[in-house]
Structures are given as C-alpha cells and as structure tokens.
Amino acid sequence: MNIVLALFLILVFSIALAKSTDLVIANIVKLARRLAVPEFTVGFFILGFATSLPEIFVAVNAVMEKTPQLSLGNLLGAILVLLTLIISFPAVLSGGVEIRKVLSSKDIVLSSFVIALPAFFSLDGNLTRLDGAILLFSYLIYVYVLNEDRSFLEKIKSAARKNKGNLFKVMALTSLGVLGIFIFSRFIVEISLDVAQTFFVPPLLVGVLFLSLGTNLPELSLAVKTVISKHKIVGIGDFLGSAAVNTFVVALLCLIYPFKVDDLAGVRKASLFVIAAVILLAIFMRTKRQLTRKEGIMLLSLYAVFLLVEISSI
C-alpha cells in the first residue's frame, strides 16, 4: 500500500474513531449530570475512561492480530501525547490552568507514579504477567484513593430506577458509539500493520508515532472545547484520567498476552521520554499549583524533541 494513501486512511478512520468516541462521551456526560456527579469526577473517572476506549480497542485488535507491540507503542505514545501536546493546550491558549482546586500534592505524586509505571516496566523490553498484575493492582489502588464519592454506585442505581426510558436511550447510543470505536480501531490496526510490514518499520514505532495521535483525537477535541467553554478543570481531570487508564490497558495487555519487545532501543527511547514528561509535569503542578503558558510551551518542546528523535531513527 502507498504510504501516503495508508496515512490518509489512518487519518480518516481516526476521525471516525473520534466521532464514535464523542457519541459515547456525550451520553456518558449526560448520564453523569443526572447523577449530580462532581465536575472533576466526571472528567477524571468518566471522561478519562471514555476517551481511552480507542486505546483499549486498539489493544484488543492488536492482540487478535498477535502484534501486542503495536498496542504498547500506541499506549506509550498516547501517554506522552496526553502529558505534553494535549495537556499543554489549555495552558498555552488560555494563559494557564489552575491545579489547586483539582489535585492535592498527594494526588499529584500518586498520579505521576501510576502513569509512569508502564514506562518503567517497558525499559527491559519484557512484559510479563507479573508486570501486568502489579500494574493492575497499582491502578485499582489509585482509583480507590482518588474516588472520594463512595455513593457513586448508589446514585447510578437510583437514577436507573427513576429514568428507565431515558437511561435505555443513553445506553443504546453509548453502545452504538462503542461498536463504532471497535470497528474503526480494527481498520486502523490492519492498515498500521500493513505499513509496518511493507516499509519494514517496527510496529512499536508505528504505534508511538502515528496511532498515538489518531487515538488521542477525542482528547485533542476536548482540549479545544475546554478552552472555549472555560471548563478547564474537566479537561485536566480527563487528561490525567486518560493517561492513568493507559496503565490499566497495559496491565490487561500483559496479563492476556505477555511478550518481549523486538525493538528494544525504540521502547527504551519512548519510555524515557514518558518518564521525563511525567516528572516535568509533576514539578510544574506541585510548584505554583498551576500550569502556566511558559510551562505549557516547555512541554510542547519536549514532544517536538521526541518527534525529531523518533523520525531520525526511521
């Protein structure tokens, strides 16, 4: 397949993937508002998971194709895209984002630790079931600590009893969006593997460079919307939540399909950039408890350096 045509098809299917994700997000947010769930909880736990559905289904399809390295590259690249390119958008475009009301110092440290874990476990190029178990346990503890609203499940049950008809419509539209995500992610994985095989590019690199941008279109769209609507707290919660969900996805990938990475140099480069981004962002958020425009530009610069390093290695 011609490389230009392949990249064009990946872009088209990525946009379709983003539209399907938007359908899921719109209906989940509608439900969350009926449950009177706090704004940050909507962003972190609900939108964070919903916007990670593309990465989850890319992982599912990659395992079906027996190429988990493609998914690992996508997940590491997605974390980097989230923490540098996308999270800096609200800060650069609107002059800064307040963190004080969103995360405590303890939450920032815990978030940074959990988000960075997949990169640490990837450094040796060997992803085992033990790694998966540790990642899964860490993510579950993380969710438990950050979830202060213990009555969340009770609210869901109560809303389901009061709004059966409306709830059915919401669930039907959400299911339709999820089906779209699965189908389009399947196409994207198949085209990406074709590109990797035709041009002798490691699947890991294809995932890091191309898929990570395509599967993060929902977050990019949300970043722009948060600036326009001035709901910057929801945006920060979604981006951190989405990055943390990738730890959960890597855990499942290791548990279901443990593997060794062929492109060891490539996975180490990507992992080190992820770790650098996590540390840099944590420092920025802990100092003045806000992400300033200058700090956002520094994060963008880190991603630009990453792109240069990866492209030079092709």
In this prediction, residue 38 carries a pLDDT of 58
What pLDDT score does 151 carry?
47
**285-314 in b/e burial notation, b at 16+ Cβ within 10 A?**
beeebebbeebbeebbebbeebeeebeeee
Percent of the chain with pLDDT strictly greater than 90: 28
Q: How far apart are CA 67 and CA 58, in angstroms?
A: 11
What is the Cα–Cα distance from 220 to 46, expressed in whole angstroms? 17
pLDDT at 272 over 80: yes
User: 215 or 303: whose pLDDT is higher?
Assistant: 303
Of the pLDDT bands very low, low, confident and very high (cuts 50, 70, 90), residue 249 is very high
Calculate the CA 94 to chain-centre distance: 23
pTM of structure:
0.82
Q: In angstroms, rounded to a whole number, what is the distance separating the alpha carbons of residues 274 and 278?
A: 6
Among 90, 113, 109, which residue's Cα sits nearest to residue 283? Answer: 109
**Which tens digit of pLDDT belongs to each residue from 115-131?**
999 999 999 999 999 99
Whether domain 39-150+200-312 has CATH 1.20.1420.30: yes
Instruction: State pLDDT tens for residues 293-305.
Output: 898 899 999 999 9
Cβ atoms of 256 and 63 closer than 8 Å: yes
pLDDT score, position 100: 52
How far, in Å, CA of 274 to CA of 74, rounded? 12
